[in-house]
Amino acid sequence: MNKIVRKEQFSEKVFLFEIEAPLIAKSRKAGNFVIVRVDQRGERMPLTIAGADIDKGTITLVVQMVGLSSKKLCALNVGESVAPSYRH
């Protein structure tokens, strides 16, 4: 599980999350996405990697609440965790 280190609300339904994921931060390329699960048994949700900080070992995701999984994700706060896996 990977910890949320920053959360910002951009609008009513759009949130930014910065998540600890050092290996993904190091190897990601423009246009890549991650598959995020809110918990180990959660639905698999593709989300574009909007940015990465190799020094901090974090990736940035911008998420729009549209249905169940994105609502569950957007309800999480700093210090809680998600499970991203890398896709390219």
Ligand X SMILES: Cc1cc2nc3c(=O)[nH]c(=O)nc-3n(C[C@H](O)[C@H](O)[C@H](O)COP(=O)(O)OP(=O)(O)OC[C@H]3O[C@@H](n4cnc5c(N)ncnc54)[C@H](O)[C@@H]3O)c2cc1C
Residues that bind ligand X (CB under 6 A): 33, 43, 45-48, 62-64, 66-70
Phi/psi at 10 (nearest 5 deg)?
-90, -35
**Shortest Å, Cβ 70 to ligand X:** 3
Residue nearest to ligand X (CB): 67
Closer CB to ligand X, 23 or 75, in the complex: 75
Q: Which of 81, 76, 68, 88 is nearest to 15 (CA)?
A: 76
**Shortest Å, Cβ 50 to ligand X:** 6
Query: Cα dihedral sign for 85, 64, 26, 3?
Result: negative
